[in-house]
């Protein structure tokens, strides 16, 4: 949140980076290699784009040792330039002030506990027995239901709904439109009509989780739906009731996990990928985009389903043959035996 | 909504269940077999988990006749233990009081008709000629547009939007973030630019329907989009304009039906499954998760598309061959002829 | 927005259509062929449904020259009847008045500039340095964040969130629940924990774009996420950071484009289709529903992936063989060589 320029030497010391060139060069912001000016810092994470270095006007470039030679000016040397860049960029990020205090339009239940260090925005609603911790930012139009807890330092950008019994850890960040703690999809058939199975669990979200815009996380049926610490969910993700997601797992946009699925730690779930209910996925599993996990996974590694994209005419021919695949296989195997 | 304990004998009588063991045992809540204590009731719906009975401390267990022997204590015998459990759990469900009345912050058009028996929460907006029936709960931040009707006993949890000409039956339940009655996606190309086709229909939702968080149901172009009674939609479902969904059909999270599709009664549409526009699906069809319905279905039964998940290396090899499938099939058939 | 009836002759002149039959016939609304009455206009775009003409009571029918003979009464002849119908229907569309002015409940930052010709609805929040142009309609519950611009004549129906640095062109239409300008999903791993990469870009939306309900468009990491003019997005679409979508492209419901993807002009992206990050798709590409684009496309045309739907039993057999596809292909090719 600083606005004063920082020198390459200061950045090198602060983040334990190597310095190459003039340490007195100062920058006050970040940009891409292509657009950065003299007073901005850029990064090169992939040596394939090394040729862009020569044309860049960036005052400082963060890069790997192996690319340092190609830097025309001042460079900071990092083992992981992207991570170093992220840390430096955070120094220059402009974040609007959200001072502590409660907007006069907010509607707060008398039994709720709001820390005097929290910011409560316009039109926020805070329910019975809810607790809002120190340093929290509850943006405009957020609805915090009964018995919800928002841990210290958490930020709900705007228009976030915590329905009931949602307990957020510390420094949780939630983007607009997200809904946590809605009824799980629990139904039983009774004489030709559906009846609802009461959803009396809650949602527990660990420290440092991030939850994307319009993502939905249902509360548990009997026990809780759980995100362990540092889980990162992109936009429009659907998490069913009683799902458990291990620490440091990241899920990309539009992916989903059905009821009671258990996903391990350090997993990466690709965009629009799905995990069926009641499955278990071990730690360090990668699921590629739009794949469907239909049985438990016990070995770390990368997994996929689906077929490749082709022009529609070719696809139609091949797809038609998919319907005959078993018959074709039988013929091949029979021919082999002969 | 009762809080006083109920005995096994009382529950047996109330729901016409068999009683096994001590009818005087009383419970005041429900839980899983693993977590239930002496004063809680649990259920066993799947005999595969029968071994959990011995370790459970549950005061009462609801189960099938066939599993009754294995129950260590008091048991209630049901033909469908899950359905019986759902009914019993509802007795113990704690639902917050939402007394009739209009929150002073709500903005209500003078031409709207709000029943004196309805609850209108903070920051609700109710449009021209809208009607809110007896016993309705319109939660905080709901927007009820012009010419919308909310039938008696319906509940819009929070932040639900009915855009225009949405008519809900009785006892409809809608979760936060749902949007009903937005413009259908109707476009015509005119000299290289899109022009909008006015969407002058509405949305009609039958009695006892449930609509999940962040689900969207567009209004019809000329006629209405229709959900018959007791349709159950999970979260993040997209229903295009002029779709018709038959009574008692349930759709799981992230599924979608494109414009003018007609889905029958008692269908089950799996998570992230899709139905193309202008198709017809007959009654009692099951579509498995992430399948795509590309032509009409006239026979009840279960339908699927997609490929199985494998490790990425194996998948890459097989997926590459999918591109050659027609050519391979031709070779096999030619060889067969020889 | 007129309510007085219009004659066939007047419509023919206004939209340069051919007239067939009695030009004095007047209508005051539109409907389907099946439901239209004497004072309504209907259309026939597909000659396949020509038989419906005889049974229709419509006062006027818009159709192709080739179908004119079959029209029982007055007909308007158009090269593209659907486009002509769209234009005529717009004349009869009832749109509620949203007069200029600011609802007293709205919360507007003193540094924001709101045109006196704009309508600001109940509970709207408008942030620092935001600009709202002439003739804009900002519906109830919209949140316009800091440094956002809403171009003249744009309409945000209700409950739309522009998080920060979102710049809309003129006549942009956004449906409820849409979130523009949330953080892109930028993460770097640092010693076993994720750290956020600041998202300091914005979102730029061209003139005449339409954005569907609950659609999300993240802001760029360093540069902007861009929709060129006349882009049409249906509901529940996810657009990652730094994506660029070319003019006149339309995307159907639940489709998605991952970070830094570039989609050309006049493309049609089918429902639930996906485009991986950092790819390029040229102009005039059609992607069919639920297909996944995994590499750049350089030729206009139609593209697909996926497998056809069959009954589940058949599908299981064929899907199992997909796992053996490479092995089967090797056998076939080996047998061929023999």
User: Which residue do the tokens 């309510």 mark?
Assistant: C3
> CA-CA distance, C57 to C55, in Å (whole number)?
7
What is the per-residue pLDDT for B3?
Answer: 59
Contacts of C163 in chain A (CB under 8 A): 157-158, 175-176
Site from C111, C120, C238 to mutate, A interface, most A CB atoms within 10 angstroms: C238
Q: Are residues B62 and B116 in the same domain?
A: no
* C-alpha distances in Å from residue A318, one per residue of A45, A292, A307, B321: 40, 21, 10, 10
Tokens at residue A101, please?
């205090």
Q: Do A311 and C302 touch (CB under 8 A)?
A: yes
Q: Is B80 inside any structural domain?
A: yes
Q: Comparing C-alpha atoms, which of C256, A65, A305 is closest to residue C245?
A: C256
- Residue B15: CATH number of its domain: 3.40.1390.10
Verify that A111 and A188 share a domain, yes or no: yes
3-class secondary structure, A19: strand
Q: What percent of chain C has pLDDT over 90?
A: 93
Q: Look at residue A94 in the predicted model and tell me its pLDDT.
A: 83
Residues in contact with C92: Cβ distance below 8 Å, sequence separation at least 6, in sequence order: B198, B200, C2, C3, C28, C29, C30
Catalytic residue among A20, A175, A241, A248: A241
One domain, residues B261 and B187? yes
Q: Cα(A206)–Cα(C194) distance, rounded to whole angstroms?
A: 14
Choose the mutation target among A29, A43, A208, A234 for the interface with C, i.e. most C CBs under 10 Å. Answer: A234
Question: Which residues, given as ranges, of chain C have pLDDT below 70?
Answer: 1-3
Q: In this structure, what token pair is assigned to residue C157? A: 């129906």
Q: Name the residue in chain C with its Cα closest to that of A324.
A: C318
Give burial (CB, 10 Å; 0-12/13-18/19+) of C96. Answer: exposed
Q: Which residues of B107-128 are buried (b: 16+ CB within 10 A; e: fewer)?
A: bbbeebebbeebbbbbbbbbbe
Specify whether the CB–CB gap between B138 and B119 falls below 8 A: yes
Among residues B44, B207, A244, B198, the alpha carbon closest in space to that of C91 is found at B198
Å from A155 to nearest chain B CA?
19
On whether any CB of chain A is under 8 Å from the CB of B228, the answer is no
Q: Can you read off the two tokens belonging to residue A183?
A: 């009824």
Is A336 within a domain? yes
Examine the domain organization and report whether C66 and C215 are in the same domain: no
Distances (CA, A) of C315 to B182, B274, C205, C330: 37, 17, 43, 23
Q: Give the span between the Cα atoms of C222 and C240, in whole angstroms.
A: 13
| Rounded Cα–Cα distance for residues C166 and C189 (Å) | 28
Of B141, B236, B331, the CB nearest to C141: B141
Give me the DSSP letters along A242-307. T-EE-TT-EE-TT-EE-TT-EE-TT-EE-TT-EE-TT-EE-SSEEE-TT-EE-S-B-S-EEEE---
Cβ-based neighbour number of residue B26 at 10 Å: 19
Cα C46 from Cα A219, distance rounded (Å): 48
Three-state secondary-structure class, residue C178: coil
CB within 8 Å: B254 and A274: yes
**How many DSSP H helices and E strands does chain A contain?**
5, 40
C85 touches chain B (CB under 8 A): yes
Beta bridge partner(s), residue B196: B187
- Give the β-pairing of B285-287 and B301-304: parallel
**Same domain, yes or no: A172 and A209:** yes
- In-domain check, residue A1: no
Q: How many CB atoms lie within 10 A of CB C152?
A: 18
Report yes or no: A130 and A151 within 8 Å, Cβ to Cβ.
no
B168: in domain: yes
Mean pLDDT per block of 10 residues along chain B (338 residues) reads 80 97 96 95 92 94 94 95 96 89 98 98 98 98 98 98 98 98 96 96 98 98 97 98 98 98 98 98 98 98 98 98 95 83
Identify the residue whose tokens are 């319907």.
A323
* Alpha-carbon gap, residue B308 to A322, rounded angstroms: 13
Closest Cα partner for A286 from A301, A271, A272, A276?
Answer: A301
The residue from C61, C92, C123 where one domain ends is C92
Question: Distance of alpha carbon C290 from its chain centroid, rounded?
Answer: 17
End-of-domain residue from the set A92, A118, A141: A92
**C-alpha distances out from residue B184 to A42, C178, C212, C297, Å:** 44, 15, 9, 29
Query: Is residue B242 domain-shared with residue B265, that is, in the same domain?
Result: yes
pLDDT tens-digit series, residues A175-222: 999 999 999 999 999 999 999 999 999 999 999 999 999 999 999 999
Q: Are residues A230 and A82 in the same domain?
A: no
Q: Which of the residues C291, C297, C334, C336 would you substitute to probe the A interface, choosing the one with the greatest number of A C-beta atoms within 10 Å?
A: C291
Measured at the CA of C23, the angle between CA C21 and CA C27, to 5 degrees, comes to: 110
**Three-state DSSP class for residue C192:** coil
**Is residue C191, in this structure, part of any structural domain at all?**
yes
Name the catalytic one among B20, B119, B175, B241. B241
Do residues C210 and C75 both lie within one domain? no
pLDDT at residue B2, rounded to an integer:
46
Answer whether residue C179 is part of any domain: yes
Annotate B219-245 with b (16+ C-beta within 10 A) or e (fewer): bbbbbbbbbbbbbbbbbbbbbbbbbbb
DSSP state, B219? P
Max CA-CA distance within chain C?
Answer: 85
- Which of C92, C124, C146 lies at the terminal end of a domain, its last residue? C92
Partner residue opposite C274 with nearest CB, options A82, A250, A272: A272
Residue that the structure tokens 């113990």 belong to? B92
For residues C143 and C240, state if they share a domain: yes
At residue A336, what are phi and psi to the nearest 5 degrees? -60, -40
Residues C329 and C183 in one domain: no
pLDDT digits (tens, 9 = 90+) for A36-78: 999 999 999 998 889 999 999 999 999 999 999 999 899 999 9
Residue A3: predicted pLDDT: 59
How open is the CA angle C136-C140-C142, to the nearest 5 degrees? 75
Judgement on whether residues C160 and C251 belong to the same structural domain of the protein: yes
* Contact between C12 and C26 (Cβ < 8 Å): no
Pairing mode, strands B274-275 and B292-293: parallel
Give the nearest partner residue to B304 out of C175, C309, C320, using CB atoms: C309
Give chains near B: 3+ CB pairs under 8 A. A, C
Nearest to B232 by CA among B249, B255, B217: B249
Confidence at residue C282, expressed as pLDDT on a 0 to 100 scale = 98
Distance from C-alpha of B132 to C-alpha of B113, rounded to nearest angstrom: 6
Residues A198 and A323 in one domain: no
Nearest to C172 by CA among C115, C121, C123, C231: C231
By Cβ distance, the residue of B183, B194, B256 closest to C230 is B194
Does any domain span residue A75?
Answer: yes
CA neighbor of C152 nearest in space, from C138, C170, C127: C170
CA distance B60 to chain A (A): 16
The number of distinct structural domains making up chain A is 3
Q: Please report whether residue C1 resides in a domain.
A: no
Give the residue numbers spanning the domain of B81: 6-92
pLDDT of residue B199: 95
Distance from CA of C6 to the nearest CA of B (A): 17
Task: Provide the ipTM.
Answer: 0.96
Residue A155 near residue A175, CB atoms below 8 Å: no
Please name the residues between 207 and 226 in chain B that touch chain A, using a CB distance below 8 Å.
208, 210, 212-214
pTM score of the predicted model: 0.97
A1, pLDDT greater than 60: no
For residue B6, how many other CB atoms are within 10 A of its CB?
17
Q: Yes or no: say if A254 and C254 are a contact pair by the CB < 8 Å rule.
A: yes
Q: Of all residues in chain A, what percent carry a pLDDT higher than 90? A: 93
Quick check: A193 and B208 CB within 8 A?
yes
CB C128 within 8 A of CB C112: yes
Pairwise CA distance, residues A201 & B68, whole Å: 27
Is B141 a known active-site residue? no
Given C119, C175, C241, C248, the catalytic residue: C241
- What is the structure's pLDDT at A4? 81
């Amino acid at each position: 949140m600083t606005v004063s320029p920082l020198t390459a030497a200061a950045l090198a010391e602060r983040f334990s980076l190597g310095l190459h060139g003039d340490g007195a060069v100062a920058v006050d912001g970040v940009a891409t290699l292509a657009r950065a000016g003299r007073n901005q810092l850029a990064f090169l994470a992939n040596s394939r784009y090394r040729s862009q270095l020569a044309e860049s006007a960036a005052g400082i470039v963060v890069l790997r040792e192996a690319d340092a030679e190609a830097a025309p000016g001042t460079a900071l040397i990092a083992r992981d330039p992207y991570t170093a860049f992220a840390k430096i960029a955070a120094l220059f990020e402009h974040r609007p002030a959200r001072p502590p205090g409660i907007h006069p339009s907010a509607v707060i239940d008398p039994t709720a506990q709001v820390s005097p260090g929290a910011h409560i925005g316009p039109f926020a609603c805070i329910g019975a027995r809810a607790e809002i911790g120190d340093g929290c930012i509850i943006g405009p139009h957020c609805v915090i239901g009964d018995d919800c807890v928002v841990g210290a330092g958490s930020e709900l950008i705007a228009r976030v709904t915590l329905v009931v019994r949602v307990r957020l850890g510390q420094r949780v960040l939630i983007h607009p439109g997200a809904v946590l703690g809605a009824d799980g999809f629990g139904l039983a058939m009774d004489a030709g009509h559906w009846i609802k199975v009461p959803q009396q669990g809650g949602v527990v979200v660990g420290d440092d989780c991030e939850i994307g815009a319009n993502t939905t996380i249902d509360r548990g049926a009997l026990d809780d739906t759980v995100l362990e610490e540092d889980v990162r969910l992109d936009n429009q993700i659907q998490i069913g009731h009683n799902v458990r997601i291990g620490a440091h797992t990241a899920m990309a946009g539009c992916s989903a996990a059905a009821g009671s699925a258990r996903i391990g730690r350090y997993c990466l779930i690709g965009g629009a990928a799905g995990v069926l209910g009641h499955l278990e996925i071990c730690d360090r599993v990668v699921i590629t985009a739009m794949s469907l996990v239909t049985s438990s996974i016990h070995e770390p590694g990368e997994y996929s389903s689906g077929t490749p994209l082709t022009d529609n005419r070719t696809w139609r021919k091949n797809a038609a043959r998919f319907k005959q695949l078993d018959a074709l296989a039988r013929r091949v195997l029979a021919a082999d035996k002969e």
